[in-house]
Structure 1
Amino acid sequence: MSNQQSAYALARLPIGFSFLGHGLVRLPKLQAFANGMASSFESTILKYEFVKYFATALPVVELLLGLALLLGVKMKATSTAGIFLICILIFGSSLQENWSAVAIQLFYGLYFAILHLFADYNGYALGLKSIKK
Protein backbone atom coordinates (compact mmCIF):
# COMPACT_ATOMS: atom_id res chain seq x y z
CA MET A 1 0.00 0.00 0.00
CA SER A 2 1.41 3.40 -0.95
CA ASN A 3 1.54 6.37 1.39
CA GLN A 4 -1.30 7.98 -0.56
CA GLN A 5 -3.43 4.85 -0.25
CA SER A 6 -2.83 4.50 3.47
CA ALA A 7 -3.53 8.22 4.01
CA TYR A 8 -6.76 7.88 2.05
CA ALA A 9 -7.79 4.80 4.05
CA LEU A 10 -7.08 6.71 7.28
CA ALA A 11 -9.08 9.72 6.02
CA ARG A 12 -12.11 7.47 5.43
CA LEU A 13 -12.13 6.24 9.03
CA PRO A 14 -13.36 9.30 10.98
CA ILE A 15 -16.29 10.06 8.71
CA GLY A 16 -17.03 6.35 8.29
CA PHE A 17 -17.24 5.80 12.03
CA SER A 18 -19.31 8.96 12.41
CA PHE A 19 -21.93 7.77 9.95
CA LEU A 20 -21.85 4.21 11.27
CA GLY A 21 -22.35 5.55 14.78
CA HIS A 22 -25.22 7.81 13.73
CA GLY A 23 -27.00 4.84 12.20
CA LEU A 24 -26.27 2.39 15.01
CA VAL A 25 -27.50 4.58 17.86
CA ARG A 26 -30.67 5.62 16.04
CA LEU A 27 -31.85 2.20 14.85
CA PRO A 28 -32.84 0.82 18.27
CA LYS A 29 -34.97 3.90 18.93
CA LEU A 30 -36.07 4.41 15.33
CA GLN A 31 -39.69 5.42 15.93
CA ALA A 32 -38.80 7.88 18.70
CA PHE A 33 -36.07 9.36 16.49
CA ALA A 34 -38.39 9.65 13.47
CA ASN A 35 -41.22 11.19 15.52
CA GLY A 36 -38.83 13.64 17.18
CA MET A 37 -37.33 14.73 13.89
CA ALA A 38 -40.75 15.09 12.27
CA SER A 39 -41.96 17.18 15.22
CA SER A 40 -38.95 19.46 14.92
CA PHE A 41 -40.09 20.41 11.40
CA GLU A 42 -43.66 21.41 12.35
CA SER A 43 -42.88 25.10 11.89
CA THR A 44 -41.48 24.54 8.38
CA ILE A 45 -43.09 23.93 4.99
CA LEU A 46 -42.34 20.20 5.19
CA LYS A 47 -45.19 17.91 6.14
CA TYR A 48 -44.89 15.79 9.30
CA GLU A 49 -45.45 12.49 7.46
CA PHE A 50 -42.85 13.31 4.78
CA VAL A 51 -40.21 14.10 7.41
CA LYS A 52 -41.17 11.00 9.40
CA TYR A 53 -40.65 8.75 6.34
CA PHE A 54 -37.30 10.40 5.64
CA ALA A 55 -36.26 10.13 9.29
CA THR A 56 -37.20 6.44 9.33
CA ALA A 57 -34.90 5.76 6.36
CA LEU A 58 -32.08 8.08 7.46
CA PRO A 59 -30.41 5.81 10.07
CA VAL A 60 -30.31 2.92 7.60
CA VAL A 61 -28.73 5.17 4.97
CA GLU A 62 -26.24 6.48 7.53
CA LEU A 63 -25.32 2.96 8.63
CA LEU A 64 -24.81 1.74 5.05
CA LEU A 65 -22.86 4.85 4.11
CA GLY A 66 -20.66 4.39 7.18
CA LEU A 67 -19.94 0.77 6.26
CA ALA A 68 -19.14 1.71 2.66
CA LEU A 69 -16.76 4.42 3.86
CA LEU A 70 -15.00 2.11 6.31
CA LEU A 71 -14.61 -0.63 3.72
CA GLY A 72 -13.69 1.73 0.89
CA VAL A 73 -16.47 0.50 -1.39
CA LYS A 74 -16.92 2.44 -4.65
CA MET A 75 -15.64 5.68 -3.15
CA LYS A 76 -16.67 7.96 -6.01
CA ALA A 77 -20.26 6.73 -5.78
CA THR A 78 -20.16 6.60 -1.96
CA SER A 79 -18.82 10.14 -1.64
CA THR A 80 -21.37 11.38 -4.18
CA ALA A 81 -24.19 9.74 -2.21
CA GLY A 82 -22.79 11.29 0.96
CA ILE A 83 -22.79 14.76 -0.60
CA PHE A 84 -26.39 14.34 -1.76
CA LEU A 85 -27.45 13.24 1.72
CA ILE A 86 -25.66 16.19 3.29
CA CYS A 87 -27.34 18.59 0.82
CA ILE A 88 -30.74 17.25 1.90
CA LEU A 89 -29.79 17.68 5.56
CA ILE A 90 -28.53 21.23 4.90
CA PHE A 91 -31.83 22.08 3.21
CA GLY A 92 -33.77 20.79 6.23
CA SER A 93 -31.53 22.57 8.72
CA SER A 94 -31.91 25.79 6.70
CA LEU A 95 -35.70 25.50 6.86
CA GLN A 96 -35.37 25.25 10.63
CA GLU A 97 -32.91 28.16 10.64
CA ASN A 98 -30.50 25.90 12.51
CA TRP A 99 -27.34 27.59 11.28
CA SER A 100 -24.99 25.78 13.64
CA ALA A 101 -26.16 22.46 12.18
CA VAL A 102 -25.69 23.87 8.67
CA ALA A 103 -22.10 24.79 9.53
CA ILE A 104 -21.35 21.25 10.70
CA GLN A 105 -23.06 19.77 7.65
CA LEU A 106 -21.01 22.04 5.37
CA PHE A 107 -17.89 20.53 6.95
CA TYR A 108 -19.20 17.03 6.19
CA GLY A 109 -19.90 18.10 2.61
CA LEU A 110 -16.35 19.40 2.24
CA TYR A 111 -15.00 16.16 3.71
CA PHE A 112 -16.99 14.13 1.17
CA ALA A 113 -15.79 16.38 -1.66
CA ILE A 114 -12.18 15.78 -0.64
CA LEU A 115 -12.76 12.02 -0.49
CA HIS A 116 -14.29 12.24 -3.96
CA LEU A 117 -11.38 14.29 -5.31
CA PHE A 118 -8.78 11.81 -4.10
CA ALA A 119 -10.80 8.61 -4.69
CA ASP A 120 -8.15 7.34 -7.11
CA TYR A 121 -5.98 6.73 -4.02
CA ASN A 122 -8.52 4.30 -2.62
CA GLY A 123 -6.68 1.04 -2.09
CA TYR A 124 -7.04 -1.51 0.63
CA ALA A 125 -9.39 -1.52 3.56
CA LEU A 126 -9.15 -3.71 6.65
CA GLY A 127 -6.72 -6.02 4.85
CA LEU A 128 -9.11 -6.61 1.95
CA LYS A 129 -8.79 -5.20 -1.53
CA SER A 130 -11.55 -2.64 -1.79
CA ILE A 131 -13.67 -1.90 -4.81
CA LYS A 132 -12.24 1.19 -6.49
CA LYS A 133 -14.92 2.54 -8.79
Structure 2
Amino acid sequence: MPSKNKNENLAYLLARVAVGISLFGHGVVRLPKAGAFSEWMRDRFEKSWLPAPVVGTFGYVLPWIEFGIGLLLIIGLFTRSALIGGAVLMIALIGGCCLIEDWSAIPSQLMHAGFCALLLVFLERYNYYSFDRRFLSDNP
Protein backbone atom coordinates (compact mmCIF):
# COMPACT_ATOMS: atom_id res chain seq x y z
CA MET A 1 0.00 0.00 0.00
CA PRO A 2 1.50 3.36 -1.02
CA SER A 3 2.20 5.78 1.79
CA LYS A 4 0.25 9.01 2.08
CA ASN A 5 2.87 10.48 4.40
CA LYS A 6 4.49 13.33 2.49
CA ASN A 7 7.63 13.33 4.65
CA GLU A 8 8.31 9.64 4.04
CA ASN A 9 7.71 10.06 0.31
CA LEU A 10 9.99 13.09 0.24
CA ALA A 11 12.70 11.28 2.22
CA TYR A 12 12.58 8.43 -0.27
CA LEU A 13 12.84 10.87 -3.17
CA LEU A 14 15.85 12.60 -1.61
CA ALA A 15 17.67 9.30 -0.99
CA ARG A 16 16.86 7.99 -4.48
CA VAL A 17 18.02 11.21 -6.15
CA ALA A 18 21.21 11.32 -4.05
CA VAL A 19 22.22 7.83 -5.18
CA GLY A 20 21.16 8.69 -8.72
CA ILE A 21 23.27 11.85 -8.84
CA SER A 22 26.29 9.99 -7.54
CA LEU A 23 26.04 7.35 -10.26
CA PHE A 24 25.07 9.88 -12.93
CA GLY A 25 28.00 12.10 -11.97
CA HIS A 26 30.45 9.21 -12.17
CA GLY A 27 29.22 8.47 -15.68
CA VAL A 28 29.07 12.07 -16.90
CA VAL A 29 32.66 12.91 -15.98
CA ARG A 30 33.99 9.65 -17.47
CA LEU A 31 32.12 9.72 -20.78
CA PRO A 32 34.23 12.44 -22.46
CA LYS A 33 37.41 10.59 -21.50
CA ALA A 34 36.15 7.03 -22.00
CA GLY A 35 39.27 5.92 -23.86
CA ALA A 36 41.61 7.18 -21.16
CA PHE A 37 39.37 5.73 -18.45
CA SER A 38 39.33 2.33 -20.17
CA GLU A 39 43.12 2.38 -20.48
CA TRP A 40 43.46 3.38 -16.81
CA MET A 41 41.29 0.40 -15.85
CA ARG A 42 43.38 -1.95 -18.03
CA ASP A 43 46.52 -0.70 -16.29
CA ARG A 44 44.97 -1.17 -12.82
CA PHE A 45 43.93 -4.75 -13.62
CA GLU A 46 47.16 -5.66 -15.42
CA LYS A 47 48.24 -8.10 -12.69
CA SER A 48 44.78 -9.60 -12.14
CA TRP A 49 43.58 -12.75 -13.87
CA LEU A 50 40.98 -10.80 -15.86
CA PRO A 51 41.81 -10.57 -19.58
CA ALA A 52 42.78 -7.06 -20.72
CA PRO A 53 40.10 -6.99 -23.49
CA VAL A 54 37.38 -7.73 -20.91
CA VAL A 55 38.63 -5.00 -18.58
CA GLY A 56 39.01 -2.57 -21.48
CA THR A 57 35.51 -3.21 -22.75
CA PHE A 58 34.09 -2.88 -19.25
CA GLY A 59 35.96 0.42 -18.94
CA TYR A 60 34.21 1.76 -22.04
CA VAL A 61 30.78 0.51 -20.99
CA LEU A 62 30.92 1.41 -17.29
CA PRO A 63 30.40 5.18 -17.73
CA TRP A 64 27.31 4.55 -19.85
CA ILE A 65 25.91 2.14 -17.25
CA GLU A 66 26.56 4.62 -14.43
CA PHE A 67 25.06 7.45 -16.50
CA GLY A 68 21.94 5.44 -17.41
CA ILE A 69 21.24 3.99 -13.98
CA GLY A 70 21.86 7.38 -12.39
CA LEU A 71 19.50 9.16 -14.77
CA LEU A 72 16.75 6.58 -14.22
CA LEU A 73 17.08 6.96 -10.44
CA ILE A 74 17.06 10.75 -10.61
CA ILE A 75 13.79 10.84 -12.53
CA GLY A 76 12.33 7.72 -10.95
CA LEU A 77 11.74 5.77 -14.14
CA PHE A 78 12.05 1.97 -14.15
CA THR A 79 13.23 2.48 -10.59
CA ARG A 80 13.11 -1.17 -9.57
CA SER A 81 15.31 -2.23 -12.48
CA ALA A 82 17.65 0.72 -11.91
CA LEU A 83 18.07 -0.16 -8.23
CA ILE A 84 18.75 -3.80 -9.02
CA GLY A 85 21.15 -2.76 -11.78
CA GLY A 86 22.90 -0.34 -9.44
CA ALA A 87 23.36 -2.99 -6.76
CA VAL A 88 24.62 -5.57 -9.29
CA LEU A 89 27.01 -3.00 -10.72
CA MET A 90 28.37 -2.29 -7.25
CA ILE A 91 28.79 -6.01 -6.60
CA ALA A 92 30.83 -6.29 -9.82
CA LEU A 93 32.95 -3.28 -8.83
CA ILE A 94 33.51 -4.70 -5.34
CA GLY A 95 34.62 -7.98 -6.89
CA GLY A 96 37.02 -6.14 -9.16
CA CYS A 97 38.45 -4.15 -6.27
CA CYS A 98 39.02 -7.38 -4.35
CA LEU A 99 40.93 -8.84 -7.31
CA ILE A 100 43.39 -5.95 -7.31
CA GLU A 101 43.31 -5.43 -3.54
CA ASP A 102 41.96 -1.89 -3.79
CA TRP A 103 40.31 -1.91 -0.39
CA SER A 104 39.90 1.89 -0.29
CA ALA A 105 37.14 1.95 -2.94
CA ILE A 106 35.02 -0.78 -1.37
CA PRO A 107 33.32 1.27 1.41
CA SER A 108 31.83 3.67 -1.14
CA GLN A 109 30.67 0.78 -3.32
CA LEU A 110 29.17 -0.98 -0.30
CA MET A 111 27.26 2.19 0.62
CA HIS A 112 25.89 2.49 -2.91
CA ALA A 113 24.88 -1.19 -2.92
CA GLY A 114 23.29 -0.83 0.52
CA PHE A 115 21.34 2.27 -0.49
CA CYS A 116 20.10 0.52 -3.65
CA ALA A 117 19.00 -2.50 -1.61
CA LEU A 118 17.30 -0.36 1.03
CA LEU A 119 15.55 1.78 -1.55
CA LEU A 120 14.34 -1.41 -3.22
CA VAL A 121 12.80 -2.58 0.06
CA PHE A 122 10.72 0.60 0.36
CA LEU A 123 10.08 1.16 -3.35
CA GLU A 124 6.39 0.27 -3.54
CA ARG A 125 5.49 2.20 -0.44
CA TYR A 126 7.42 5.45 -0.81
CA ASN A 127 8.33 5.97 -4.49
CA TYR A 128 5.52 8.49 -4.86
CA TYR A 129 7.47 11.29 -6.56
CA SER A 130 8.56 9.45 -9.68
CA PHE A 131 7.82 8.96 -13.33
CA ASP A 132 7.02 5.35 -12.44
CA ARG A 133 4.09 6.45 -10.32
CA ARG A 134 2.88 9.01 -12.85
CA PHE A 135 3.19 7.05 -16.06
CA LEU A 136 3.67 3.34 -15.33
CA SER A 137 1.28 2.76 -12.48
CA ASP A 138 -2.42 2.04 -12.30
CA ASN A 139 -2.56 3.92 -8.99
CA PRO A 140 -4.20 7.35 -8.99
Normalising by the residue count of structure 1, what TM-score does the alignment of the two structures yield? 0.91
- Alignment equivalent of 2:128, drawn from 123, 127, 130: 123
Q: Summarize the alignment of residues 1-133 of structure 1 with structure 2, pairs less than 5 Å apart.
A: 2-120=6-124, 121-125=126-130, 129=134, 131=136
Rounded to whole Å, the distance in 1 between the matches of 2:96 and 2:69 is 19
TM-aligned CA deviation for residue 130 of structure 1: 5.8
Q: CA deviation digits over 1:55-104, x for unaligned, max 9?
A: 10000000000100101112222111111100100000000111111122
Equivalent position amino acid for 2:27 in 1? G
In the alignment of these two chains, the number of paired residues is: 131
Contact 1:86 1:105 in 2 (8 A): yes
Equivalent position amino acid for 1:109 in 2? A
Change (3 A) 1:130 1:9: farther
- Could you list the runs of 5+ residues in structure 1 that have no partner in the other structure? none
Equivalent position amino acid for 2:33 in 1? K
TM-aligned CA deviation for residue 20 of structure 1: 0.8
TM-aligned CA deviation for residue 131 of structure 1: 4.2
Rounded to whole Å, the distance in 2 between the matches of 1:40 and 1:105 is 17
Change (3 A) 1:8 1:73: same
Contact 1:38 1:52 in 2 (8 A): yes
Normalising by the residue count of structure 2, what TM-score does the alignment of the two structures yield? 0.87
Which has the greater radius of gyration?
A: 2
Calculate the aligned-residue CA RMSD, in Å: 1.7
| Partner-residue secondary structure (3-state), 1:98 | coil
- Could you list the runs of 5+ residues in structure 2 that have no partner in the other structure? none
TM-aligned CA deviation for residue 3 of structure 1: 2.2
Change (3 A) 1:122 1:6: same
